Each structure stands twice: as C-alpha cells, then as structure tokens.
C-alpha cells in the first residue's frame, strides 16, 4: 500500500485482508524495518 524509506529505515503499511471489521473495512498494520530488524505493529 504505502512504502517510505530513508537512511536505512523503511516504513510500510500492510492491509490485513484476513479479517474484516464490522464496519466492512480491513485493519492496517505498520511494519518498520531498520538494519534488517523487522517490527510489525497492528493498528485499527
């Protein structure tokens, strides 16, 4: 969906299509990659 990278740090958004919310929308996850270390943060 969205990808931004600067100085070795990347921020990506991922649409989680496995579960649909009651509103009919899908949740978004934010993934941060820094020096090959990956951290995924679930968001509403």
Please write the tens of the pLDDT for every residue from 19-32: 888 999 999 999 99
- In this prediction, residue 37 carries a pLDDT of 86
Give the count of domains, the chain: 1
Q: What is the pLDDT of residues 3-14, one digit of tens each?
A: 999 999 999 998
* Residue written as token pair 């969205």: 2
Is the pLDDT confidence value at 34 over 80? yes
- In this prediction, residue 43 carries a pLDDT of 72
- In this prediction, residue 16 carries a pLDDT of 87
- In this prediction, residue 44 carries a pLDDT of 55
Q: Check residue 16 and report its DSSP letter.
A: -
Is 1:16 a contact under the CB 8 Å cutoff?
Answer: no
What pTM value is reported for the model?
Answer: 0.66
What is the domain extent for residue 10?
Answer: 2-42
H or E element, residue 18: none
């Amino acid at each position: 969906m969205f990808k931004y990278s600067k100085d070795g740090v990347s921020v990506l958004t991922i649409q989680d299509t496995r579960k649909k919310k009651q509103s009919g929308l899908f949740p978004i996850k934010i993934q941060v990659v820094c020096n090959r270390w990956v951290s995924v943060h679930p968001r509403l």
